[in-house]
Amino acid sequence: MRYLSFCLLLVTLVSCTSQKEQDAIEIKTNLDLVDQGFNDNKLDTAASRKAETEIKAFVAAYPEDSLSAGYLFKLGMLYQKQRNFKEAIDAFDKVYTDYPTSGYSRNAVFLQGFLYANELNNLDKAKEKYELYLEKYSGIDPKMTSDVQMELQNLGKSPDEILKEIQAKEGAAI
């Protein structure tokens, strides 16, 4: 009898959970599987595809929901981990464009600049995104602002060139 009561209670609770909540749980589960795969140096392509599909469906169904910006940002991060940089940039752009007041938008703009500079070697687009970051978000996070300014100063330079400049500055300071 207790088992039957427990099952009825469980069925009642599950049926009371909204579709949106169920979708959010499913997305989190699949993103956790994908992250675990990356941590184990294994790409779970089925979980990745499922997470991608679920996120796109959630954002389409609930574009005004506060979770949508975060899911799009996580989709961009997923694409970045998979080295699908164009898709990552597109996802980050959608975060900035569709959710400009979200807490994710400034990181999305920064990551666009970073990917353009360091993965796609498109320095003009990188500069554009970094300057957009400074224009919109420089007063929010001094550390990130400093990082963006440093990225702009070193745009197009090799690690050796940057190291030589640092050493020259240190030598001049002594």
154: CB partners within 8 A, 6+ apart: 162
How much is the pLDDT for 11? Answer: 53
pLDDT classification of 98: cutoffs 50, 70, 90: very high
CA–CA gap between residue 132 and residue 93 (Å, rounded): 12
pTM, to two decimals:
0.82
Fold of the domain built from segment(s) 20-173 = 1.25.40
SS3 string of 34-77? HHHHHHCCCCCHHHHHHHHHHHHHHHHHCCCCHHHHHHHHHHHH
Helix (H) or strand (E) run with residue 123 in it: helix 123-137
pLDDT digits (tens, 9 = 90+) for 13-47: 455 568 888 888 888 888 888 888 777 777 778 88
Residue with tokens 């979770």: 67
